[in-house]
């Protein structure tokens, strides 16, 4: 039974109200980073929240601007904007080392957070990474090669294009700003030196992020302390009971590696 608070808390980031929910507890804390057009009340985030309360671990989740309960317009969003909001949530509302759990686009945000935290001398805030169906660089590597002539024309002339979503009655909207900013935030261009253990869970039946994308990501991570678990019949959601059990198991494994289980 979920014990999610009825109402979120909010912080202001550059004039936008960013909604968050938080569980107090032991470190390392766990920070949830959702996917493109998802929100913090999804099955995986709720499961992690329930686990955190049961185990007494700190846990935090938030909605990016234009998502869920946060303010702002979705069409104004970019990786840089959502990255800044996520860093603000971590810096202002968490203490001690954190395990970043990034789902799909959230894994891209998590990897950029790693880079920015190390650049700022805050690498000690990172205890581990758990990346679920990770989609770093998805705009350039997964989407741009598949764009139709009509979509390319819409991007140039209208500044966006729409396509039906399998996960929402509302269409997905992709803006030229998102693509341009995505190029500036690419992470799979060289070594991503995380300085912390990484566990990747990837479904081999994922129609949105093919599993070879996760294999490519591994090539850009340090050779040691990286685990890739392929789920043969797993899809992009990774929200079946057996998937959720694997996520919790992987998270607990990362916590054990910190010596703070």
Chain length of the chain:
261
Asked if residue 82 is part of any domain, the answer here is yes
Asked if residue 171 is part of any domain, the answer here is no
CATH number for position 111:
3.40.50.1820
Asked if residue 145 is part of any domain, the answer here is no
Asked if residue 169 is part of any domain, the answer here is no
Residue in the block written with tokens 């996917």 = 35
Residue in the block written with tokens 């054990």 = 256
The DSSP secondary structure of the chain, one letter per residue, reads: -----SS-EEEEETTEEEEEEEE--EEEEEEEE--TT--TTSHHHHHHHHHHHHHTEEEEEEPPTTSTTS-S-GGG--HHHHHHHHHHHHHHH--S-EEEEEETHHHHHHHHHHHHHHHTT-GGGEEEEEEES--TTIIIIIIGGG--HHHHHHHHHTSEEEE--SS-SSPEEEEHHHHHHHHHT--TTS----SS-EEEEEETT-SSS-HHHHHHHHHTS-SSSEEEEEETT--SS--SHHHHHHHHHHHHHHHHHHT--
Host domain of residue 227: 9-137+190-258
Question: Considering the entire predicted model, what is its pTM?
Answer: 0.96
Structure tokens at 217: 């990501």
Asked if residue 125 is part of any domain, the answer here is yes
Asked if residue 164 is part of any domain, the answer here is no
Residues facing residue 31 across a β-bridge:
60, 100
Q: Under 8 Å CB-to-CB from 148, ≥6 apart: which residues?
A: none
Q: What pLDDT tens digit does each residue of the chain (261 aa) get? A: 455 667 999 999 999 999 999 999 999 999 999 999 999 999 999 999 999 999 999 999 999 999 999 999 999 999 999 999 999 999 999 999 999 999 999 999 999 999 999 999 999 999 999 999 999 999 999 999 999 999 999 999 999 999 998 878 889 999 999 999 999 999 999 999 999 999 999 999 999 999 999 999 999 998 889 999 999 999 999 999 999 999 999 999 999 998 765
Which residue from 47, 33, 34, 60 is spatially nearest to 2, judged by alpha carbons?
47
Asked if residue 245 is part of any domain, the answer here is yes
- The terminus-to-terminus CA distance of the chain in angstroms comes to 24
Within 13 A of 239's CA, how many CA atoms are on the CB side?
Answer: 12
Between the CA atoms of 67, 71, 72 and 73, what dihedral angle is there, to the nearest 10 degrees?
40
Asked if residue 4 is part of any domain, the answer here is no
């Amino acid at each position: 039974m979920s014990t999610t608070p009825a109402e979120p808390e909010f912080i202001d980031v550059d004039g936008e109200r960013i909604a968050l929910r938080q569980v107090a507890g032991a470190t390392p804390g766990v920070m949830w980073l959702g996917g493109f057009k998802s929100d913090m009340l999804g099955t995986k985030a709720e499961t992690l929240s329930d686990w955190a309360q049961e185990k007494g671990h700190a846990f935090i989740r938030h909605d990016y601007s234009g998502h869920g309960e946060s303010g702002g317009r979705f069409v104004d969003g970019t990786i840089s904007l959502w990255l800044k909001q996520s860093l603000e949530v971590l810096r202002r509302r968490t203490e001690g080392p954190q395990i970043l759990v990034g789902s799909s686009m959230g894994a891209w945000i998590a990897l950029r957070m790693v880079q920015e935290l190390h650049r700022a001398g805050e690498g000690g805030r990172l205890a581990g990474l758990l990346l679920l169906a990770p989609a770093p660089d998805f705009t350039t590597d997964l989407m741009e090669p598949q764009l139709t002539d009509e979509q390319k024309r819409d991007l140039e002339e209208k500044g966006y294009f729409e396509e039906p979503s399998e996960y929402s009655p509302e269409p997905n909207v992709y803006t030229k700003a998102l693509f341009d900013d995505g190029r500036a935030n690419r992470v799979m261009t060289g070594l991503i030196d995380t300085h912390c253990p990484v566990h990747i869970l990837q479904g081999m039946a994922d129609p949105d992020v093919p599993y070879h994308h996760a294999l490519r990501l591994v090539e850009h991570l340090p050779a040691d302390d990286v685990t890739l678990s392929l789920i043969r019949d797993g899809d992009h959601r990774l929200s079946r009971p057996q998937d959720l059990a694997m996520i919790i198991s992987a998270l607990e494994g990362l916590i054990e590696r910190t010596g703070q289980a």
